[in-house]
Amino acid sequence: MTASLTETSRADRVARPRHFVMCRPTHFTVSYEINPWMDTTQAVDADVALAQWEELKATHERLGHTVDVVPGVPGLPDMVYAANGALLTAEGNVGVRFTHPERAGEAEAYASWLEENGFGPVHRPVETNEGEGDLLVVGDHLLAGFGFRTALTAHAELARVLGREVTSLELVDPRFYHLDTALTVLDDDPAHPDVAYFPGAFSPAAQAVLQRLFPDALLTDEETAAVLGMNAVSDGLHVVLSPRAQRYADLLAERGYQPVPVDLSELLKGGGGAKCCTLVVRR
């Protein structure tokens, strides 16, 4: 399933220090159902969720990355999924507009905090987009998912605001309602961009686009995607991912990456993993 890579490319993996924004799950619970992972009859252990989140934050810091923490807001339990809070790029910063009213309040909470802490200005979008959940930067490409959360019309707004081309990718499986649940950015360096993705989450047209852009991409299987294994964070060498995605970890190791498992089983009850909890700051 893996594309062939030269030994040189495998040996070339380099970790690059990153700057992340996260939100402690102080108010996390599953009090509504807006994705297939959420079940209000399934109890959430708040203490375990917090401990797992703290381990994720500590792992990022141990790997040499900077982490800023946005304070959670009562009544907004999904703020822990910081990746949905914005898209921060060298060309500009774009806030979010959520599909579901349950999350609407997160948009301004994130935008205001970012501006107050030196990450602004933040464009308030007119069209619906859910930040890095559906918007992923890979080298010179801005990949944008649509089909469940982010509106296709948002892609034109993003292109206009950021002054860059946006590549639209249609998602077709409701389990993978955000792009970052089906695709991992393994290396965002324009010199050698690298991704992994589960083809079954995408329409045939989107699969063709991904094949054209990333002919050497690592293709994963439904078993990996079904544990949100693709919802991972990479610094170009280390890949923080679910310990349940062991096959994915093995494939990554073969490709020259270093898998770093972190258990986020409680936060998975809300439909998120390591990437959902991690917003990338790009200057």
* Catalytic sites, residue numbers: 178, 276
**Residue written as token pair 């649940």:** 181
Cβ(142)–Cβ(162) below 8 Å: yes
DSSP state of 202: B
Structure tokens at 214: 């990333």
Side-chain-facing half-sphere of 220: CA atoms under 13 Å: 30
DSSP state of 237: S
* Residues whose CB is less than 8 angstroms from the CB of residue 207 and which lie 6 or more positions away in sequence, other chains included: 199
* Residues whose CB is less than 8 angstroms from the CB of residue 112 and which lie 6 or more positions away in sequence, other chains included: none
